[in-house]
A and B are shown apart, each in its own frame.
Chain A
Amino acid sequence: MCGIVGIINTDGHRIDGSHIQEAIRIQRDRGNGLGGGFAVYGAYPENRDKYAFHIMYEGDRHNPAVSAVEDYLQSRANVYQSEQIPVYPNDRIPRGPYFKRYFLKPIEEFLSPQQTEEDYIVEIVMHINSMQDAFVVSSGKDVGVFKGMGYPEDIADYFRIEDYQGYMWVAHNRFPTNTPGWWGGAHPFTILDKTVVHNGEITSYGTNVRWLEMNGYQCLLQTDTEVISYIYDKLTRRDGLSKRDACYVMAPALWEEIDRRGDEKDRYLRQIYGTAIVNGPFGIVLTHRDGAIVLNDRNKLRPVVCAQVGNTYYASSEECSIRFLSPEVDRIWSPRGGEPVMIDMLEGYKEAV
């Protein structure tokens, strides 16, 4: 069990983090204090052209990992800015690891032929994650993730997320069942600008992880969420599938239905991406710079409710969070299992930001 809230202003209107903090607070009993976190899109408009790396270091700033990572970053990228992420210890969260953020661009000459800039960044992320005591919390342009051990509303205070503004926010309240709770294991999980918050337990984990590893991903966190975001990244960015097709691969139609419809493309997708199918109960909100996707497992074994108020969309594990944010809604519905809800930012939102 876990709790999820997502807020998307498709017109690019930015709001501060206090709203989502309160919305996730009322889902407190969906977590157990072993993990909470937030992702914010539109956090760094002045550095929008650079990759924003949030990096967590075990211990404090004297950990040799800090200089090891920074040496590595300097050798691989142009780092334009680096700073400590401000934290505000309180009674409930008196201490935590050391957080820094970096704004960087790849050194173009270092890109190997056919390698895209994003491939290169993913390589850097994978490398740092395999280093001692360091962990990349987020790595996308204009995106920031704040997460840790504790209830999400306390994590929000620890990072003072009300000081950040964004057009899209997601929050997660964790009740870990498989992997131990730790700062890096909290959600959201991101790669580049793709972020996943997830409620569920993926029974296909072993299959998915092996497929990802074969394709060059290292799944070091042993969380379901990591796996989902990598699958989505592999399908959309590497293989060029549409968002719809990527969702379809993760939660495909029954063979019987494919036979009935005679849909050869759907058959093809399921045939070639069989080991990317995600089984077991899940409700996920997957966000990227241009929108969000809400997806349930095929059997709808986890709750997700969606709602719309004008240009604003909500997704939540429980309706109460949506009603808290907006008692009146234009539309509210519970998406069917396996059928993705895709919310796209409006044309031209970037200019409006």
Chain B
Amino acid sequence: MNGMENNWKTIPAFHPEFDIERCDYKNGCSICSKECSFGEISMHPVKDDDGEVRYRPRANLTACNSCQRCVKMCPEGAIHIEFQPMHTSHGYWTSDYASNIWRQAGDEGGVLLVGNGATGPQKRYFDHIMFDACQVTNPSIDPLREPMEIRRYLGRKPAQYGEEIGPQLKLDVPIMFGAMSFGAVNKRVQEAEARATKDVGTYWNTGEGGFFKDLRIYGENTIVQVASGRFGVSEDYLKSAAAVEIKIGQGAKPGIGGHLPGEKVLKAISETRMIPEGSDALSPAPHHDIYSIEDLRQLIYAIKEAMEYKVPVSVKIAAVHNVAPIVSGVARAGADIIAIDGFRGGTGATPLQIRQSTGIPIELAISAADTRLREEGIRDTVSLVASGGIMCSSDVLKAICLGADAVYIGTPVLVALGCGLCQRCFSGKCAYGITTNKPGLAERIDVEQATQALKNLLHAWGEEMKELMGSMGISAIEALRSNRDRLRGVGLNEEELRILEIKHAGA
């Protein structure tokens, strides 16, 4: 770039520091440099005090994302990650904004890509909502002594008693694994998801990358997606699953499509997505056969016809400003389940500006949608699934109290498998082997261990939810659906309380 020095733009905010006293390099250890998939650590020859030349680890100061893989894998505990942002003395211009511009002005140019969900400072409403607990006037219930029920059924319920009930998904834990496609994650991750959900009694979602043939034995616990790219969609694909989800939008990137670069489209991916090897997999921003709500209705019923009305059809939308009327329209268009994805929702790749600035928080969105459906008297005709920013079991219960029937979690699944939240999912270099299909990296996921980790996660959250319910005097989770009375707000203004339909603490 015209003689401009580019070195200053590439100094990373993170780098590993090595405690050379602890480091086992003398015995030839080089685990850290092998584990670092980003090429940040290399082994360099250094003459030791005894005159021998040995290879020591060194930070290259080029590519560290603080994924912490080296830290976790170092047998000696000799590594930590230094955070060294490029401080500006300017109170308004933080280093984030400045370094983004340096990157764009430099070689990188173009649209900045990131993985994971939004990182901005917007209020996390879950943290401003507190549960009630029983004291004196009613007894709390001890989940160790009394049965606690957290099973939910998702799907259309008849408006009138006596009418037939639509096909239902049975969730023994009201938590499903959200859509993460083959391509975004690898087959091992999907297999772990499939096995864990089968054992625990819930569902996982293929995303829009097709449904790997070998995994179709887990079809009873699988939701398949029909997204704008239609990748992998065939009659067999639809019929292999327990439910079909039409993906309109995603919280991390509302209103835009997706792009799996050709380099990532290896043989298995090309087969599953039904596209030529090495070709870019582009998901358009809109479905090119859905330009209005009536088009969506036609697709919903086309799928229902194809499936002979035997499985529920879900529609996933991003939480945007008009979420309530949109949800109402989607319910009336025939969806059995509507998944609403808040702006904190994760992704493998999204433009930074979209991730940080588009969409609304799931807490407000789910509340507004539930309220609207009740006002219109059609709440029971559809199940609502909340997602995007759920980080713990109390978030799940709060989402249910705000009107959700169940939740999707995505990032917690990745974190359970080791994810260090470095936000480089799109690079194909995931050091934990989660968001990569590269040989040598993908094998870092051990399917057995990963399955157990996900089962542990679901079990632990389920038990925590039972404890919370017991303290509230609730023994069946359906008694919490839209139960805003069990919640109080702390530090929320009147408008926020009105939208969440909760009282302020003390009231």
Contact = CB atoms under 8 A, between A and B. Distances in A.
Interface of A: 1, 177-178, 200-201, 203-207, 209-211, 213-215, 239-241, 252, 254-256, 268, 270-272, 274-275, 277-281, 298-299, 301
A240 B479 CA distance: 23
B15 interface: no
B450 interface: no
A277 B482 CA distance: 13
A254 B474 contact: no
A207 B168 contact: no
B154 to A, nearest CB: 10
Contacts of B158: 272
Closest 6 CB pairs of A and B: A206-B485, A274-B478, A204-B479, A279-B479, A206-B483, A177-B137
A214 B374 contact: yes
Contacts of A213: 374
B168 A271 contact: yes
B284 interface: no
B275 interface: no
Given A177-B137, A299-B141, A203 B151 contact: no
Nearest to B137: A177
Given A205-B485, A275-B380, 10 more contacts: A201-B138, A203-B134, A203-B483, A204-B479, A209-B485, A210-B374, A240-B162, A272-B157, A277-B476, A280-B138
Contact of A279 (B168, B374, B475, B484): B475
A278 B139 CA distance: 15
A203 B478 contact: no
A30 to B, nearest CB: 13
Nearest to A273: B161
B9 interface: no
Most B C-beta atoms less than 10 A away, residue of A177, A205, A209, A279: A279
Most A C-beta atoms less than 10 A away, residue of B153, B160, B161, B474: B161
Contacts of A204: 474, 479-480, 483
B392 interface: no
Given A214-B377, A275-B482, A203 B474 contact: yes
28 contacts: A1-B137, A178-B137, A201-B137, A201-B473, A203-B473, A203-B486, A204-B479, A205-B485, A206-B486, A207-B480, A207-B483, A239-B161, A255-B149, A255-B151, A270-B478, A271-B165, A272-B158, A272-B165, A277-B476, A277-B478, A277-B479, A279-B474, A280-B473, A280-B479, A281-B473, A298-B475, A299-B146, A301-B138
A280 B153 contact: no
B472 interface: yes
A145 to B, nearest CB: 25
Nearest to A272: B157
Most A C-beta atoms less than 10 A away, residue of B136, B374, B474, B476: B476
Interface string B485-498: 11000000000000
Nearest to A245: B161
A256 B147 contact: yes
B379 interface: yes
Contacts of B165: 268, 271-272
Interface in B156-197: 157-158, 160-162, 165, 168
Contacts, number: 98
Contacts of B377: 214-215
B67 to A, nearest CB: 41
A328 B151 CA distance: 46
Interface string B381-413: 000000000000000000001000000000000
A281 B134 CA distance: 11
B481 interface: yes
Interface residues of B, number: 38
A273 to B, nearest CB: 8
A286 B137 CA distance: 22
A74 to B, nearest CB: 31
A46 B485 CA distance: 45
Contacts of B149: 254-255
B167 to A, nearest CB: 11
A349 to B, nearest CB: 29
A99 to B, nearest CB: 30
Contact of A207 (B147, B473, B478): B478
A251 to B, nearest CB: 10
A278 B473 CA distance: 11
Nearest to A205: B485
B474 A206 contact: no
Nearest to A269: B161
A275 B478 contact: yes
Given A203-B486, A205-B485, A206-B486, A214 B479 contact: no
B152 to A, nearest CB: 8
A213 B149 CA distance: 25
B475 A299 contact: yes
B137 A203 contact: no
Nearest to B405: A274
Contacts of B151: 255
A237 to B, nearest CB: 12
Contacts of A214: 374-375, 377, 379-380
A312 to B, nearest CB: 32
Nearest to A203: B473
A252 B401 CA distance: 20
Contacts of A270: 478
A258 B200 CA distance: 19
B482 A207 contact: yes
Given A213-B374, A215-B377, A200 B138 contact: yes
Most B C-beta atoms less than 10 A away, residue of A206, A215, A274, A299: A206
Nearest to A279: B479
Nearest to B158: A272
A299 B143 CA distance: 12
Contact of B482 (A1, A178, A206, A239): A206
Contacts of A254: 147, 149
Most B C-beta atoms less than 10 A away, residue of A214, A278, A281: A214
Interface string B349-376: 0000000000000000000000000110
A271 B380 CA distance: 10
Contact of B139 (A210, A274, A301): A301
Nearest to B146: A299
A211 to B, nearest CB: 8
Nearest to A282: B138
Most B C-beta atoms less than 10 A away, residue of A203, A215, A281, A301: A203
Given A206-B483, A215-B377, A272 B161 contact: yes
A46 B175 CA distance: 59
B482 A279 contact: no
Contacts of A201: 137-138, 473
Nearest to B150: A255
Contact of A206 (B134, B161, B475, B484): B484
Contact of B473 (A215, A241, A255, A279): A279
Contacts of A200: 138
Contacts of A210: 374, 482, 484
Contacts of B153: 271, 274
Contacts of A252: 476
B476 A279 contact: yes
A270 B152 CA distance: 10
A256 B476 CA distance: 12
